[in-house]
Structure 1
Amino acid sequence: MAVPKRKVTGSRRGMRRSHDALKAVNYQEDSHTGEYKLRHHIDLKTGMYRGKQVIEPKGDY
């Protein structure tokens, strides 16, 4: 059976877990509608992306 030869220190354990923290979601205010949206995503209400109409709007939500 595999058993660790030495105890893993809190510092080493913390360094291994440093990438496990949740990141804050990066919302940005839309310049046309004023609503918050995710960056680099199409606004489904208006169908706009980077100032251009890329899809037809879905309608009311």
Structure 2
Amino acid sequence: MGVPKRITSKAKKRSRKAANRWTPPGISKDKKTGNWVRSHHVDLTTGMYNGRQVLTLKTSNEH
């Protein structure tokens, strides 16, 4: 069975734990529509990305 040669210091242990910290996803408000949009993702309500139309969305009355 493996046994540590030295005791792991508090700084080393806390530094290792800090790498696993959760960060919330980046979201921002669209200036034109006011919708909340994830960074680097297409706005699913309008189909816009980076100022241009990338998705064509069906309206509710089309089948």
Paired residues in the alignment total 60
- Structure 1 portions without partners, runs of 5+: none
> What is the identity percentage for the equivalent residue pairs of Structure 1 and Structure 2?
35
Counterpart Cα distance in 1 of 2:44 and 2:58: 6
Relative contact order, CA 8 A, sep 6+: which one is greater? 1
- Superposed CA offset, 1:5-55 (max 9, x none): 222121110112221111132110012210111011101111111111111
TM-score (norm 2): 0.78
RMSD (CA atoms): 1.6
**Corresponding position of 1:46:** 46
Normalised to the residue count of structure 1, the TM-score between the two structures is 0.80
Task: Point out where structure 2 has 5 or more consecutive residues left out of the alignment.
Answer: none
8 A Cα contact 1:46 1:57, kept in partner: yes
Distance 1:5 1:57, change over 3 A: same
The correspondence of residues 1-61 of structure 1 with structure 2, limited to 5 A, is 1-57=1-57, 59=59
